[in-house]
Amino acid sequence: MKCRKCGAKASVNMHQHKLALCKEHYLEWVPEQTERFIKKYQMFKRGDRILVAVSGGKDSLSLWDILVRLGYQVDGLYIGLGIDEGIGYSSESHRLAEKFANENNLNLHIVDIEKEYSQPIPVLAEISHRGHGKPCAVCGLTKRHVMNRIARDLGYDVLATGHNLDDEAAVLFGNTLSWSGEYLLRQGPVLPSTDGLARKVKPLCRFYEREMTAYALLRGIEYIYEECPFAEGSTSIYYKELLNKLETDRPGSKLTFYLRFLEARQSGLFVEHNVAADGDLPTYLHPCPNCGQPTSAPGLCSFCRLMEKVKAESNAL
Smaller CB distance to ligand Q46: residue 3 or 79? Answer: 79
Cβ atoms 159, 148 nearer than 8 A: yes
Q: Which of 1, 6, 231, 242 binds Zn ion (CB under 5 A)?
A: 6
Of 16-24, 69-77, 111-119, 255-263, which segment contacts Zn ion by CB under 5 A? 16-24
305 CB burial (10 A radius; 0-12, 13-18, 19+): middle
Nearer to ligand Q46 among residue 10 and residue 147 (C-beta): 147
Residues 79-138 that bind ligand Q46 (CB under 6 A): 81, 83, 135-136
Asked if residue 140 binds ligand Q46 (CB under 6 A), the reply is yes
Residues 6+ apart with CB under 8 A from 204: 34, 59, 62, 63, 162, 163, 164, 165, 212
* Binder of residue 140, out of ligand Q46, Zn ion, none (CB less than 5 to 8 A by kind): ligand Q46
Considering the complex, state which of residue 285 and residue 301 has its C-beta at the smaller distance from Zn ion: 301
Burial string for 114-143 (b: 16+ CB within 10 Å, else e) reads: eeebebbbbbbbebbebbeebbbebbebbb
Query: Which option in Zn ion, ligand Q46, none does residue 177 bind, with CB closer than 5 to 8 A by kind?
Result: none
The nearer residue to Zn ion, 67 or 197, going by C-beta atoms, is 197
Q: What is the dihedral of CA 200, 205, 210, 213, to 10 degrees?
A: -30
Please state, in angstroms and rounded to a whole number, the distance separating the CA atoms of residues 268 and 185. Answer: 10
Binding to Zn ion by CB under 5 A, coded x per residue (else -) over 202-221, reads --------------------
Determine the straight-line distance between the first and last CA of the chain, rounded to whole angstroms: 65
CB of 234 to ligand Q46, least distance (A): 7
Asked if 146 is part of the footprint of Zn ion (rule: CB under 5 A), the reply reads no
| 290 counts as binding Zn ion under rule CB under 5 A | yes
Q: Please, how many CA atoms are within 13 Å of residue 108, restricted to the half-sphere of its CB? A: 27
Question: Alpha carbon of 186 to those of 235, 265, 313: distances in Å?
Answer: 20, 10, 35
| CB-nearer residue toward Zn ion: 29 or 72 | 29
Give the burial string for 48-77 (b: 16+ CB within 10 Å, else e).
ebbbbbbbbbbbbbbbbbbbbbeebebbbb
Task: Name residue 286's beta-bridge partners.
Answer: 295
CB of 159 to Zn ion, least distance (A): 17
Residue of 150, 197, 304, 306 that binds Zn ion (CB under 5 A): 304
Binding track over 210-249 against ligand Q46, x by CB under 6 A: ------------------x-xx------------------
Residues that bind Zn ion (CB under 5 A): 3, 5-6, 8, 22, 25, 288, 290-291, 301, 304
Residues that bind ligand Q46 (CB under 6 A): 81, 83, 135-136, 139-140, 228, 230-231
